[in-house]
Amino acid sequence: MAGDWFETVAQAQQRARRTLPRSVYLAIIAGSERGSTMADNLAAFGELGFAPHVAQAPAERAMATSLMGQELALPVLISPTGVQAVHPDGEVAVARAAAARGTAIGLSSFGSKPVEEVVEANPKTFFQTYWCGSKDRLTQRLERAKRAGVAGLIVTLDWQFSHGRDWGSPTIPDKLDLKTMLRLAPETIIRPRWLLAYAKAGGPPAMTVPNMTIGGEDPPTFFTAYGEWMGTPPPTWEDLRWLISWWEGPVMIKGIARPDDARRAVDVGATAISVSNHGGNNLDGQPASIRTLPAIAAAVAGEIEIVLDSGVRRGSDVVKALALGARATMIGRAYLWGLAANGQAGVENVFDVFHGGIDSALRGLGRASTAELEPSDVLVPDGFTQDVLAPA
């Protein structure tokens, strides 16, 4: 519908805020501690400028790339996000939208839809996992993802899950029983569009994570799965080497923020890394991902595929990331806001916003494709780049 179209991700966020119950909207905003990293993710892109050319701009501009063996029509893909109560079609709608725009989806093991349904909607599905439970339980879950036909694996390491936010944390119930629904009624009844969508789908969000099941187990709730993850010691680099060898396919390590860790990812055999701070939901005070990208790219350029995640809100952000060393970018909150605003069509709208912004920036820079981008296309102020290994 024409009235549902939006021209920027910021407008999609405004629609989402008017559509979603307050607790659901705040769960997407999330952040940690004082929110310094979350804010810096956005501010840092604004500090970067462009060095445009005039005249001789190419008539057409190409954006295709490849990642972990998959051809992508757009250098923007879906970042995996955990269980959400944004739209009843959830990750299946997101997968269809990504497929319609020729790109991939990262499906969280804590997602709300089964991996089999998501792969059916989009074969370019990368399954995401945390280091959760014993190696036996971990591999049993991943065997299911293999059988479903996923295109690759994402191992997320950039989530410590802060327990405090200066603005307060949202109410996230373990399950939506009658008592809980009555308690949440004041914030849901004033969001009729959201309420009607779930009513038509047969009831409220299940708040379970079906991809964490093994064998004939019932899907656990998010907090049950979260508890298993909290009780699991973090992996070593040798653990990651073992997992990459066991998987026998493309693997991305998500959460790299330092050149030395990027080098370790290369050494253990990873296919790709995601330079990410989990959208500011990790260790508050670490710099924006885009600030750490140039040093990481310099350390491992040509040896591993690099993706930039955290703070990407517009096509020009994508172009800046690609010019500074990324092959592609991932989006999280941006697509969730599109999903809230208008379901699958809203996510497609978000992709179109990015496509238009990338095309406009390429034209202004006089580039015929994203492959031609280079650091000289971006104006980087003194002191912008953060490299923990640089000499004082």
| Contacts for 63 with CB less than 8 Å, ≥ 6 apart | 73, 74, 75, 355, 358, 359, 362, 369, 370
- From residue 316, how far is each of 10, 46, 363, 380 by CA, in Å? 14, 10, 11, 14
Q: Of 53, 87, 278, 355, which one is the catalytic site residue?
A: 278
Structure tokens at 84: 């959400």
Relative to beta strand 272-275, strand 251-256 is: parallel
Best CA proximity match to 315, nearest among 373, 254, 392: 373
Cβ neighbourhood burial of 231 (10 Å; 0-12, 13-18, 19+): exposed
* CB proximity list for 335: less than 8 A, separation 6 or greater: 78, 94, 97, 347, 350
Residue 14 tokens read as 């405004």
- Catalytic annotation present for 278: yes
Catalytic residues: 278
